[in-house]
Amino acid sequence: MSVTQQQVLDALKQVKTPRGVALVDANVLSAITAGDGKVFFSINVEATEARAWETTRAQAEAAVRAIPGVTLAMIALTAERKAGAAPAAPPPRAAQSTAAGHRPHQHPPGSPMSRQAEIPGISAVIAVASGKGGVGKSTTALNLALGLRDLGLKVGLLDADIYGPSVPRLTGLRDKPALSADRKMVPLERFGLSIMSIGFLIEEDRAMVWRGPMVMQALTQMLREVAWGTLDVLVVDMPPGTGDAQLTLAQNVPLKGAVIVSTPQDLSLIDARRGLAMFRQVNVPVLGIIENMSYFQCPHCGTRSDIFGHGGARHEAEKLGVPFLGEIPLHIEIRTTSDEGKPVVASAPDGPHAAIYRAIASAVRDGLKDAVAAA
Ligand code: ADP
């Protein structure tokens, strides 16, 4: 049974904000995604007011759940702390300018992303996603970030894989981030990248129990309450899968593009297709598909064996009309360097694997230019 945005808005009319006005008139709602009985949106308020808004959020969720046909309602409270005094009602996000002087990226009216603010100082945020875990998404995200660095870009990496942050292991970083004078978290620096991970803040096993709205709140903080400085690109290592948490994330993070990592096996290609559909649903340009563990490369003689029915991702990308960004072999050097906290692009910059990641980075950079030009 499908549910319309209008039904959701009608149900929300009865919900009041802490300011006493109706929620639908308070200029705080993101666009609403409704369909297949699943409803998602966020309420954007000032961080200082967030506690007071929790009752409103809960009432909104209850009102939406009561609509016949709604099977899932997920409403996140997103808060962003702004410098200076908090205005009672923030102006529409699309009209705000950023500290770095960039014109905000505008999504079409009604798009789930139309109310997102860019992050001051960051020119482009891109997501690295995969349909399922274990395909090498995090390894690819880190080496891709290093490849972009090698192209002369200033790059940050945000490990948003809240259910199993692996960036501490992949980089060897374990320190807790310091706080800056304006109480922002200072990202850790390694390999010339600015790096932030939920794994720096909490124990890995605690991250497992996080629920949707909490994930969004933690993520919003990691995006907006971190002293990222000026970056050309922030690479976001997304949680694996294409479930509700990922969709909410894709809606709430101001993404310029997404990269999908897949292995050649059929199953993960099906999952990759879901990933593609998810980003299309929220109007994020898909920069392309990377085939990881594409073929086996013998560590002794260098011979290549296509043990997984290689070429599936390239073929799939052609069929789906998205760029194919490149293929990365299954190679012991990639695994050991990754697991020792010395990613291959940093530890063997002149080797063949670093060259592959750099070529992919270059394709991503070019795709990003096109996506930004087309926006
Ligand atoms: P995900 O983020 O998708 O869960 P990871 O990046 O953590 O996956 O990778 C899972 C495992 O696969 C890790 O041990 C990693 O070192 C290994 N791995 C990733 N890519 C490759 C590759 N191209 N060749 C060999 N091992 C790889």
Q: Residues lining ligand 1, CB < 6 A?
A: 130, 133-139, 166, 240, 292-293, 328, 330-331, 334-335, 338-339
| pLDDT at residue 106 greater than cutoff 60 | no
- In a domain, residue 102? The reply is no
Query: Are residue 154 and residue 280 in the same domain, yes or no?
Result: yes
Same-domain status, 259 and 368: yes
Both 128 and 231 in a single domain? yes
Structural domain count, the chain: 2
CATH number of 5's domain: 3.30.300.130
Spacing of C-alpha 266 from chain mean position: 24
Q: Which of 81, 113, 148 is the last residue of a domain?
A: 81
Alpha carbon of 137 to ligand 1 centroid (Å): 7
Contact 32, 8 (CB under 8 A): yes
For ligand 1, the distance from its centroid to the CA atom of residue 365, given in whole angstroms, is: 23
In a domain, 89, yes or no: no
Distance of CA 191 from the midpoint of ligand 1 (Å):
19
Task: Please tell me which residue, 126 or 96, carries the higher pLDDT value.
Answer: 126
- Are residues 141 and 201 both part of a single domain? yes
Side chain identity, residue 285: P
Report CA-CA distances (Å) from 279 to 223, 232, 260. 19, 22, 10
From 29, 57, 81, the end of a domain falls on 81
Asked if 228 and 119 touch (Cβ cutoff 8 Å), the reply is: yes
110: left (phi over 0), alpha (psi -120 to 50) or beta: left
Residue 88 within any structural domain of the chain = no
- pLDDT the model gives residue 323: 94
Selected residue with higher pLDDT from 105 and 189: 189
Same domain, 165 and 312: yes
The verdict on 165 and 276 lying in the same domain is yes
- Residue 248's CATH number: 3.40.50.300
In a domain, 94, yes or no: no
Higher pLDDT, 116 or 295: 295
Atom nearest to 336 CA in ligand 1: 16
Q: Which of 2-11, 132-141, 193-202, 309-318 has the lowest mean pLDDT?
A: 309-318
pTM over the 0.85 mark: no
Q: Which of 52, 81, 110 is the last residue of a domain?
A: 81
**Rounded CA separation 261/326 (Å):** 10
pLDDT at residue 113 above 90?
no
**Nearest atom within ligand 1 for CA of residue 142:** 6
pLDDT exceeds cutoff 70 at 45: yes
Letter for the amino acid at 19? R
Residue 284 alpha carbon to ligand 1 centre in Å: 25
Sort strands 231-237 and 72-80 into parallel, antiparallel or unpaired: unpaired
150 and 36 belong to one structural domain: no
Instruction: Flag whether 134 is in a domain.
Output: yes
pLDDT tens figures, 83-102 = 333 333 333 333 333 333 33
Give the structural domain span for 368.
Answer: 122-373
Residue with tokens 């100082």: 121
Does 151 or 134 have the greater pLDDT score? 151
CA of 332 to the centre of ligand 1 (A): 10
Pocket test for ligand 1, best of 159, 246, 333, 338 (most atoms within 8 A of CB): 338
Say yes or no: 10 and 157 in one domain.
Answer: no
* pLDDT for residue 360: 98
Q: Is residue 255 part of a domain?
A: yes
Query: HSE of 238 in the Cβ direction (CA atoms, 13 Å)?
Result: 32
| Confidence tier at 187 by pLDDT (50, 70, 90) | very high
Task: Provide DSSP, 321-372.
Answer: T--EEEEEEE-HHHHHHHHTT--HHHHSTTSHHHHHHHHHHHHHHHHHHHHH
Give per-residue pLDDT as tens, 65-88. Answer: 999 988 777 777 765 544 333 333
